[in-house]
Amino acid sequence: MYDCIIVGAGPAGGSAAYHLAKRGRSVLVLEKESLPRYKPCGGGVSPQVAEWFDFDFSPAISLKINTIRYTWKMEDPVAAKLDHLEPIWMVRRDVFDHFLIQKAQGQGAELKDSVAVKGIEWQSDRWQVNTAHGSFIGRYLIAADGAKGSVAKWLGFKERKRRLGGALEVEAKANVEDPHSCHFEFGMVKNGYIWNFPKADGYSIGIGTFRGGEAQNFKAILSEYATLFGVELASTQQYGHPLCLWDGDQTLHTQNALLAGEAACVVDPMTAEGIRPSMFTGVKAAEAIDAALGGASDAIATYTQVIQAEWGKEMVWAQRLAGVFYRVPGVGYQLGVKRPSATERMAQILCGKLSYGDVASHALQRLSTGLIPGMGR
C-alpha cells in the first residue's frame, strides 16, 4: 500500500510526487500517456517556481525571454524589456513534465505510465485505484489529471464550478528571429488574446478566450496572425483544449483526497497562466498529505484553506481585471498595455514579486475612467 497515489504526471502531479517522496513517503504516479508525451501548451513558466524546489531546472528550459512585444490587430506595436527581473522560461511540456517526474523518481517515487485509471473505490480507510493493469491501494489520493480528467467527478465533485476557456494551438518548426521575445496580440479575438512563444527550434502560437461569449473562427484568426512570423497554419498540426479557469473559492478536498492543478480550476483568468499555479497546488498538496500522514487530523481540510488564502485571494483581483479588460480591450490596450510600467508590473506578478492586489485597484480605476464610447472594439 502506498502512502499516496497521484493520478496525472503534469506539473501538479510531478510537484506533489517530488515533495512527498523527498519527505520519505511512498508515492505512485499513474499517467495514461507514455512519457515523455506531447502536451499542447504555450509553455511560459514563471521563474518563481524554482523557489519551491532544491534543484536546477535549466535542463528542462528551452529558452529564456526578457522582452514582451504586443500588437493591436497586428499593428500599433509595443515592446517592453523586462529589466531587473529574472527572464521568463519557455519550455516544451513533454521535456518539462518528464524532467519533473524524473526528479521525483530520483527521490523514490514510482511511475507507471501508459496506465489509464478506470475508476476509484473507497475502502474503509484507503483508496483503491483501478486500472486496466490492475488495482493499486493508497492511503491518500491526489487528482492531478487535468481539465478533462475524471477523478474529481469520481470523488463526488459533481457540482464543482468549472468556468471553461478554450484554446487552439499550433507548434511550428521555424527559425526564430528573436529568441528572447514573446508576442501577444489583442484585438483580433474577443474576450482573449493570441500568443506566440518562441522555443529553441520554433514557435508555439495559440489563441484563447477566457470569458466565453459568441463563437469565433479561431482557425481563420490564427492563420492570419501566423503570417506575421512566416508560418503557414495549414501545414501545422492544430490542438484544441479547454482551460479550467479560477472562478471563485471552492472545496478542493474530500475523504483522504485532494484536487490539484487544472483539476482544481486554478488557471489565472486574466493571463491563462496554468503551470505556476498547478505546481503551487502540487507543492501544497504534498505538504498537506505529509502532515496528515504524520497525524495532523485537520491537514486535508487545511489544504483548501491554504489554496484559497494564497492563490484564490489573488485570483479575485485577476478576475476583476479580466472582466473589465476583455470587455473593453481597446481601452485596455491604450491605457494599460501601452503604459511603460504595465509590462514590468505584470512580469513582477508572474515572477511573484508583486501581487494582483498591489496593482489591480489602480488599474481598474484607470480602465473604468477611460471608457470612451467607441473605443471598446
| Percent of the chain topping pLDDT 70 | 94
Q: What is the CATH number of the domain that holds 174?
A: 3.30.9.10
Are 302 and 326 in the same domain? no
* Inside any domain, residue 79: no
Q: What is the CATH number of the domain that holds 38?
A: 3.50.50.60
* Inside any domain, residue 26: yes
pLDDT number for residue 351: 83
pLDDT in tens, 33-90: 999 998 888 899 999 999 999 999 999 999 999 999 999 999 999 998 888 888 999 9
Q: Rounded to 5 degrees, what are φ and ψ at 335?
A: -100, -15
Are 39 and 95 in the same domain? yes
Judge whether 252 and 144 are in contact, CB under 8 Å: no
Q: Which residues pair with 261 in a beta bridge?
A: none
Are 193 and 339 in the same domain? no
pLDDT in tens, 205-261: 999 887 666 678 889 999 999 999 988 888 888 888 888 899 899 999 999 999 999
pLDDT band at 370 (very low <50, low <70, confident <90, very high): low
pLDDT number for residue 164: 64
Are 215 and 360 in the same domain? no
Question: Which among 216, 244, 272 is the end of a domain?
Answer: 244
* Inside any domain, residue 77: no
Are 221 and 115 in the same domain? no
pLDDT number for residue 375: 35
Are 239 and 355 in the same domain? no
The helix, strand and coil proportions of the chain, stated in percent and rounded to the nearest 5, come to: 35, 30, 35
Q: Name every residue whose Cβ is closer than 8 Å to that of residue 230 and which is 6 or more positions away in sequence.
A: 174
* Inside any domain, residue 305: yes
Are 126 and 54 in the same domain? yes
Q: Is the pLDDT of residue 372 over 70?
A: no
| Inter-CA distances, 175 with 45, 198, 199, 203, Å | 22, 10, 10, 9
Distance CA 375, CA 377 (A): 6
Provide the domain limits for residue 357: 318-369
Q: Rounded to 5 degrees, what are φ and ψ at 112?
A: -125, 100
3-state SS of 301-342 is: HHHHHHHHHHHHHHHHHHHHHHHHHCCCHHHHHHHHHCCHHH
Q: Is the dihedral of CA 214, 215, 217, 218 positive or negative?
A: positive
Choose the most confident range, by mean pLDDT, from 237-241, 280-284, 366-370: 280-284
Judge whether 117 and 257 are in contact, CB under 8 Å: no
Return the minimum-mean-pLDDT range out of 17-26, 308-317, 324-333. Answer: 324-333
Q: Which of 282, 246, 307 is nearest to 29 (CA)?
A: 282
Q: Is the pLDDT of residue 371 over 60?
A: no
Are 143 and 47 in the same domain? yes
Question: Which among 244, 271, 288 is the end of a domain?
Answer: 244
Q: Is the pLDDT of residue 92 over 70?
A: yes
Q: Tell me how many domains the chain contains.
A: 3
pLDDT number for residue 213: 60
* Inside any domain, residue 343: yes
pLDDT in tens, 123-164: 999 999 999 999 999 999 999 999 899 999 999 987 666 676
Are 34 and 139 in the same domain? yes
What does pLDDT average to over the chain? 91
Judge whether 68 and 79 are in contact, CB under 8 Å: yes
Dmax (CA) of the chain = 64
Provide the angle, in degrees to the nearest 10, between the axes of the packed helices 275-293 and 299-307: 160
Question: Which among 315, 336, 356 is the end of a domain?
Answer: 315
Q: Which of 8, 93, 3, 89 is nearest to 49 (CA)?
A: 89
Q: Is the dihedral of CA 64, 72, 202, 204 positive or negative?
A: positive
* Inside any domain, residue 67: no
Taking residues 293-320, report their average pLDDT.
Answer: 96
Are 238 and 256 in the same domain? no
Are 93 and 188 in the same domain? no
Return the minimum-mean-pLDDT range out of 5-19, 60-74, 150-164, 267-281. Answer: 150-164
Are 338 and 259 in the same domain? no
